[in-house]
Amino acid sequence: MILAALSDYYEKLEENEKVASIGYATAPISYALVISSSGKLVDIEDLRDVSGKKLGQGILLCHSKAREPQA
C-alpha cells in the first residue's frame, strides 16, 4: 500500500517535470562541444553560470554508472 502510494506520487512528480524519468538523471554540464555537419569540432561552448560560483548547467542525461559519485 505504501509502495503503491509512493509510485503514484513519483508518477505525478514526473508528469509535472519535478523529477527525471526512470533511467534519466540531471547532471551539471560545464561545456558543450559544437560539431559541424561534417563531424569536425567547431567550438567549445561554456555553459557554466557566471554569477557566483561557476557551476555547470543542469542537463537531463541517460543514467550512467560512470557518472555516479565514488564513495
pLDDT for 6 equals 93
Q: Count CB atoms within 10 A of the CB of residue 44.
A: 9
In what helix (H) or strand (E) does residue 10 lie, and over which residues does it extend? helix 2-15
pLDDT in tens, 54-68: 778 888 888 777 656
Whole-prediction pTM value? 0.56
pLDDT, residue 61, reads 86
Map out the domains of the chain as residue ranges: 2-64
pLDDT tens figures, 6-53: 999 999 999 998 888 888 888 889 999 999 999 999 999 998 887 777
What's the pLDDT at 68? 64
